[in-house]
Amino acid sequence: MTSQLFTPFSLRSVTLSNRIVISPMCQYSAVDGNATDWHTIHLGHLAMSGAGMLIVEATGVELAGRISAGCLALGSDENEAALAQVLSHVRHHSSMPLAIQLGHAGRKASSQLPWLGGRSLSPEAGGWPTVAPSAVPYQEGGHVPQALDDAGITRITAAFVDATRRAARLGFDAVELHMAHGYLLHQFLSPIANHRTDAYGGSLENRLRLPLEVFAAVRAVWPAEKPLGVRISATDWVPGGWDIEQSVVFAQALKNLGCDWVDASSGGLSPQQQIPVAPGFQVPFAERIRRETSVPTMAVGMITEPAQAEEIIARGEADMVALARGFLWNPRWPWHAAAVLGAQVDAPKPYHRSLPAGAHRVFG
């Protein structure tokens, strides 16, 4: 039987050779938002994994939108030039489609590196002012963000547009807008973070307004033949917060604007979240959004085994599966999945001799 995980999947003009996607993974190794040699090594070896698509880590549309001082940005010519150099090396050795995740951290910006605690930085420690839909801190004792006014909202939208134009010049095959994990656009969606009383707060229609405006503005400047997707948190895992029912409405609105996939994650908005972590715990979100809106979905979250990923695709629970930590632990995950499922992947010819004696012929 042909493995469904290893069948092609098309998103506009981009065809993935299989349904395996490498999720964006923050590396906290940029300098002033600029990619470094670390990104060449990190993205280079992942691009040889045989996955269907690689998404570059969450990249701030402006410096103030970075999660930490070590995060990538794409808001200046310097940022663009540094990333161009990395991409030229990666593309020289791999034809894998490359995407980039663009976002703004909002009130969760100006954070310490995770291995140093990850808490918000004071100005004395190198922190910077943050913005949000409302002047509500992420956690008790955290810094209080500035509530965005109309001019600020216009500026943020323009920053997304500018970063998208830069991504187009860099030749990325796809863009994913980050509207999850408690970052700025998710903050506008959730009533936990959004206490506004104007056109951008209150009702569901109002809370959807800015994320949909940003998406529409980006879609207008992103090449029509290239796919544009969105990562959402399907639920806050907090009573009274954002939930799957609202996510389905949001996904339908995104589809109407030309969204090509929804990457269904969850959580990240509140320290009060209670997440029932287990293998595949977020897959039902991708399945429901796909079933009720017909928009293609990516399933994410503790997908670690080839048989598990195969089942998700074969059952129609999602169109793609995206792994993050699994690729850090095993950068050749698709090779090993292909061996288990009787499929084939692309791999650099110098590596073909790595196949164990007597093993299924994995390399095409």
Q: Quote the tokens at residue 341.
A: 């499922």
User: Is there a domain that residue 326 lies in?
Assistant: yes
Handedness of CA 139, 141, 143, 147 (dihedral sign): positive
pTM: 0.97
pLDDT digits (tens, 9 = 90+) for 16-68: 999 999 999 999 999 999 999 999 999 999 999 999 999 999 999 999 999 99
E-strand spans in the chain?
9-11, 14-16, 20-22, 53-60, 98-103, 131-132, 146-147, 174-179, 228-233, 261-265, 297-300, 320-323
Give me the number of domains the chain comprises.
1
Q: Which alpha helices (DSSP H) does 133-203 contain, by range?
A: 150-169, 184-189
CA distance linking residue 61 with residue 115, whole number of Å: 24
118 phi-psi bin (left φ>0, alpha ψ -120 to 50, beta other): left
Alpha carbon 7 to its chain centroid, in Å, reads: 22
Reduce the DSSP state of residue 73 to 3 states and report it.
strand
Residue 63 φ then ψ, to 5°: -60, -40
What residues are paired with 323 via a beta bridge? 22
Neighbours of 184 (CB within 10 A): 30
What is the largest distance, in Å, between two alpha-carbon atoms of the chain?
67
CA distance linking residue 49 with residue 327, whole number of Å: 9
User: Is there a domain that residue 161 lies in?
Assistant: yes
State yes or no: pLDDT of 335 exceeds 80.
Answer: yes
User: Is there a domain that residue 116 lies in?
Assistant: yes
Identity at 194, one-letter amino acid code: N
Q: Tell me if 188 sits within 8 A of 210, measured CB to CB.
A: yes
User: Is there a domain that residue 14 lies in?
Assistant: yes
Q: Calculate what percentage of the chain has a pLDDT beyond 70.
A: 100
pLDDT at residue 1, rounded to an integer: 63
pLDDT digits (tens, 9 = 90+) for 216-241: 999 999 999 999 999 999 999 999 99
User: Is there a domain that residue 94 lies in?
Assistant: yes
- DSSP code of residue 350: G
CATH for 55: 3.20.20.70
Q: Quote the tokens at residue 157.
A: 């939208």
User: Is there a domain that residue 361 lies in?
Assistant: no
The closest alpha carbon to 325, from 16, 27, 4, belongs to: 27
pLDDT at residue 356, rounded to an integer: 87
Identity at 125, one-letter amino acid code: A
Q: Give the H/E segment covering residue 250.
A: helix 244-256
Alpha carbon 283 to its chain centroid, in Å, reads: 16
User: Is there a domain that residue 364 lies in?
Assistant: no
pLDDT at residue 350, rounded to an integer: 93
User: Is there a domain that residue 359 lies in?
Assistant: no
- 53-60 and 20-22 as β-strands: parallel, antiparallel, unpaired? parallel
CA distance linking residue 237 with residue 180, whole number of Å: 13
- Residue 294, domain extent: 9-354
pLDDT at residue 364, rounded to an integer: 81
Active-site residue, from 28, 138, 183, 200: 183
- DSSP code of residue 125: G
State yes or no: pLDDT of 143 exceeds 90.
Answer: no
Mark whether 138 is an active-site residue.
Answer: no
Mean per-residue pLDDT of the chain: 96
CA distance linking residue 294 with residue 324, whole number of Å: 25
Residues, the chain, total? 364
Q: Tell me if 348 sits within 8 A of 48, measured CB to CB.
A: yes
Q: What is the mean pLDDT of residues 152-160?
A: 98
Alpha carbon 185 to its chain centroid, in Å, reads: 13
- DSSP code of residue 193: T
